[in-house]
Amino acid sequence: MKSFSTIEAQQRQNLLILFAAGLLFWSSLASMLPTLPPYIEDIGGTKQQVGIVMGCFAVGLLLFRPTLGHLADYRSRKLVVIIGTTVAGVAPLGYLVVHSIGGLMLLRAFHGISIAAFTTGYMALVTDLSPVEKRGELIGYMTLATPLGVAIGPALGGFLQAGAGYTSLFLFSGGLGLLATLCSSQVSEPKRVEVSEPKTAPPLLQLIWQLLVSSRLRIPALVLLLVGLAFGSISTFIALFIRETGVNLNPGWFFTAAAIASFMMRLVIGRASDRYGRGLFITGSLVCYGLSMIMISQAQSPQAFLVAGFFEGAGAGALLPLMIALISDRSSASERGQVFAISVSGFDLGIAIAGPVFGSLADSIGYHGIFALTAALTFLALIIFITQSSKDLSHSLRFATGRERDLYAISGSPSSLPMDSPGE
């Protein structure tokens, strides 16, 4: 992590405080991840209702992310981060009093605002604080908060629920979120060029559509949509699948295995992508993700689930930070919050669709079939990226295999440099 020693002390301090907030935030969310689907089932929810309730989390993401991205660009990145951590601290307390399926749907939608706000503000702040030539490396390091939180949270949450019940789990999750708010309040937001909202700007929905269908963002958003379907199926059904197979495995360990792999990948992938380009490593991450879905669909033992979790973590550990870096390369500072919000909404939509759609199929094709189907969707994402990620097929093939720079990158970013000039 030599890059941290090469930046200014104030920037380094802000990044470390922000990292601590991220670790607490993701631990809060992840602590409930393996226990919430069984909780919904325990209070009388059907398989389809489990999928619907879990999918409602992404409703909050989809509805609020564009507005929060707009707020991050024209008001404050830090404010948006604090909104996210505050919701993460308050929402778990609602599970103490809400016990109906309809109420849980609304609560999950509210809880989803936490990720919509935190990830948008967090990544915009990290990018603002990162030197351009070290952007991929520092984004990789700063996103380590996610796998660390996902490693710590589910294991602690699973043991806490088993030993002390759901009430203690929900209080623990809320407490972590409020601690993240305290950390976030200590970050000093860097000065940026003041951006005034244009008086003649198109309506927000029109602006969203223009950005979403633009050639620089369309394929990243579509790839994230398809991977979001796979991730949504894991977060919704993996605990129930493990329970159904009768395998003696705490579902939290699946997420811990994924987090370990994700942590290892993020340590090296960002710096490598600064030097050799984003495309090659995004391609490899999609291969890992597809293989993990196949492994899950065939798993019948604790070891098989853990290996599948490791591959899933490796894929996610490379794909998400590199997609963020790719989107950063393709956007200017004045629009970065909105571009992040809109592009990552593809991932949110996939999560939102996965629960209810695959939940409705669970009785007919089973959990094996669900994960086989998501494997096919992930390999479809791979094909789309390899063939459509640049201006035409030949450029796309070369970019996706690390043989050409990103033609959509804004001048000055690492991906806009020739492949033999790593920007170091």
Q: In tens digits, what is the pLDDT along the chain, a chain of 424 residues?
A: 555 556 677 787 888 999 999 999 999 988 887 778 888 888 888 777 887 888 788 788 778 888 888 888 888 899 999 999 999 999 999 988 888 888 999 999 999 999 889 988 998 888 888 877 777 788 878 888 887 887 788 778 878 877 888 888 999 999 999 999 999 999 988 776 555 555 555 555 565 666 667 788 888 888 998 998 998 888 888 888 998 888 888 887 888 888 889 888 888 887 788 788 889 999 999 999 999 999 999 999 999 999 999 999 999 888 988 888 888 888 876 777 777 777 777 787 787 778 778 878 877 888 899 999 999 999 999 999 999 999 999 999 999 998 888 888 875 555 555 544 433 3
User: Rounded to whole angstroms, how far apart are CA atoms 110 and 105?
Assistant: 9
Kindly list the distances between the CA atom of residue 69 and the CA atoms of 117, 126, 334, in Å, as whole numbers in the listed order: 8, 14, 11
pLDDT in tens, 225-241: 899 899 888 888 888 89
Q: What is the reported pLDDT for 203?
A: 57
Residue of 99, 360, 359 lying closest to 240 (CA atoms): 359
Q: pTM for this one?
A: 0.70
Interior CA angle at 241 toward 238 and 243, to 5°? 110
Domain boundaries, the chain: 2-187+204-410
DSSP state letters, 222-278: HHHHHHHHHHHHHHHHHHHHHHHHT----HHHHHHHHHHHHHHHHHHHHHHHHHH-H
Architecture of the 2-187+204-410 domain: Up-down Bundle (1.20)
User: Rounded to whole angstroms, how far apart are CA atoms 16 and 371?
Assistant: 37
Structure tokens at 376: 């096919």
